[in-house]
Amino acid sequence: MLELDGSDAGGQFLRRALALSILTETPVTVDGVRGSRPDPGLKPQHLAAVEAAAEACDGSVDGARVGSETVGFEPGSLSGGTVTVDIETAGSVTLVFDTLLPLALRIEEPLTVRATGGTDVTWSPPMLWYRRVKLPLLRESGVQIAVDVDRTGFYPVGGGAATLRVGPATPSPLALADRGDPEGVRVYSKASTDLADADVAERQADAAVDELDDRDVLERTVSYVDSDSPGTVCCVRADYESGLAGFDALGEKGKPAEQVGRAAAEQLDSFEGTRAVVDAHMADQLLELLAVAGGTVAVPAMTDHVETSLSLLDAFGYEITVEEGETAVVLRSSDTHAVSPR
């Protein structure tokens, strides 16, 4: 039993611990769950991730209840199939998906995850970014993955529904050390249908394009979706010869649509002042793939999430070296591993 301390971390520590436990067939106990947060312990979305992980591998769990600060997890056999998750709040669907997505590195049969909750909500990757930025990059790396969205769920009601499908993957080592020349940018803007009369999605997209100045806009996509709560999201994706970076902003009551679009686009300027190949959100989310497949990835900075995740990977026997420069941090796993190095 591997004992882990999550008292200085948030929910990502627990989710990654569950994934690594299944990948390496290592039972774990996580104490101090979300200990760095003002309201520690399992919230509904974290509980949903724990239950989904257990269902995916026929595992057993101790402490699977809202408020629990200690979770014991013993993985069972992993065979693919279908997992159904109901978060019951506007908790993030994409974060639940992220718990199970790394299992593509070990499954022998396709895995389907059907989840309801919040699809585009704060403190998590919006589904718009997830589908337009993360999934294309993972596919380029050899991961078979798709996400279908049946209904968008904004805060505070949620009510979104989406399905993740992953197939068995043997990805090539990551080659993300140099992004190369820019190829252009893409703008994606989405809003709930009750905001269509005010042209909110169009205004977000127009503001983002204006903020991008003379960059080559390859695509501008505007959509309206049914949702139980009003809401908006805007995403800007930058394409390079050898990488993708994405930047997003969510609408909120009282925030003009133009401000949302500009907020998404403005982040690109800061990114292009670095030598990073992927954006800061993606940096943390590639680490299991980097550890197992090997390779190199240049990220904008050593964030708390990245630092904590590297320590967790080390606890499971994966070693990633870090080279910190002035304008990027290079993460390297020099050798490919079997899924379980322990």
Please spell the DSSP secondary structure of 184-238, one letter per residue.
EEEEEEEEEGGGGGGTHHHHHHHHHHHHTTTS-EEEEEEEEE--SS--EEEEEEE
Considering only CA atoms, give the Rg of the chain.
Answer: 19
Is pLDDT at 102 greater than 80 in this prediction? yes
Strands 2-5, 28-31: pairing is parallel
Is pLDDT at 334 greater than 80 in this prediction? no
pLDDT digit string, tens, across residues 70-84: 999 999 999 889 999
pLDDT digit string, tens, across residues 120-156: 999 999 999 999 999 999 999 999 999 999 999 999 9
206 within 8 A of 153, measured Cβ to Cβ: no
pTM of the prediction? 0.95
pLDDT digit string, tens, across residues 280-312: 999 999 999 999 999 999 999 999 999 999 999
pLDDT at 52: 96
Q: Can 305 be counted among the known catalytic residues?
A: yes
Q: How confident is the model at residue 342 (pLDDT cuts 50, 70, 90)?
A: low
Count of H helices and E strands in the chain? 10, 16
pLDDT digit string, tens, across residues 1-35: 999 999 999 999 999 999 999 999 999 999 999 99
Domains and CATH numbers, the chain: 79-171 (3.65.10.20), 182-272 (3.30.360.20)
Tell me what percent of the residues of the chain surpass a pLDDT of 70.
Answer: 97
Tell me the two tokens of residue 306: 């990245």
CA 293, CA 120: separation in Å to the nearest integer?
A: 30
Q: How confident is the model at residue 253 (pLDDT cuts 50, 70, 90)?
A: very high
Angle between helices 304-315 and 11-24 (to 10 degrees): 30
Is pLDDT at 85 greater than 70 in this prediction? yes
pLDDT at 79: 83
Is pLDDT at 337 greater than 80 in this prediction? no
